[in-house]
Amino acid sequence: MPGKDRIILALDVSDRDYALHLVDELKEQVGMFKVGLELFVSAGPRVVEEIQARGARVFLDLKFHDIPHTMVRASLQATRLGVHMFNVHTSAGLEALRAVREAVVGLCLKDNLPRPRILGVTVLTSLEQEELRGFGIQHSLRTHVRHLASLAHRAGLDGVVASGHEVAMIRNHFGKDFMIVAPGIRVSWSPPDDQRRTMTPRQALREGADYIVLGRAVLAQEDPLKALELISLELLTA
């Protein structure tokens, strides 16, 4: 894919009109837009449909994590929305992950719907080793990410969401067809904010990420379009 098509822009805003303005202005510079909790809670499912009506693809980033039945029901609604991909927490367990995949595949076959890609969230980029110990997890962060990625792989999910620091390890273990989306991407002119395990766009792609997620690193700039153009140029050498 061209570098720009591997960029997912996070619409981490609460204003529907502003979100749609960003889509109109930036859709030629990115491969997909991420709709997360803030925008979805503020604007509802309709904003997903409005983004897609503009010819843009949507990554629905709601990180479903509940009992299997509830996760399945939510995943079926995401599928009916027509999103390109959505995610679930791998820590929900193998049973829940398999149930989600089987239900989504069944619905798509039954109703002739395009099948969304399903990604498993491993460890959030805001967490480090010390926080894992606070959860009672004594093995290393990398070991934990590999374990969660293994659950996603065994369940038949399409891939995972993981920090750029774990991308090469996941790629080596699960092969080239296992999708990896790397959040926590920061360009040199952007502060890390609350994300700790960060990486530059070019580094993440060189490590083996299929997609990188950019949000504040672009939206906080005076000229987001110019920022994306600069990042796309950088990715030409990745």
CA distance 238 to 226: 19
127 vs 183: CA distance, rounded Å: 13
Q: Is 176 assigned a catalytic role?
A: no
Per the structure block, which two tokens stand in for 68? 């299997």
Amino acid at 176: K
Catalytic residue among 4, 63, 176, 226: 63
Question: Per 3-state DSSP, what percentage of the chain is helix, strand, and coil (rounded to 5)?
Answer: 50, 15, 30
Region for 188 from its dihedrals, namely left if φ exceeds 0, alpha if ψ lies in -120 to 50, beta otherwise = alpha
**Residue (of 86, 118, 90) closest to 102 by Cα position:** 118
53, two tokens = 């009506």
Catalytically annotated residues? 63
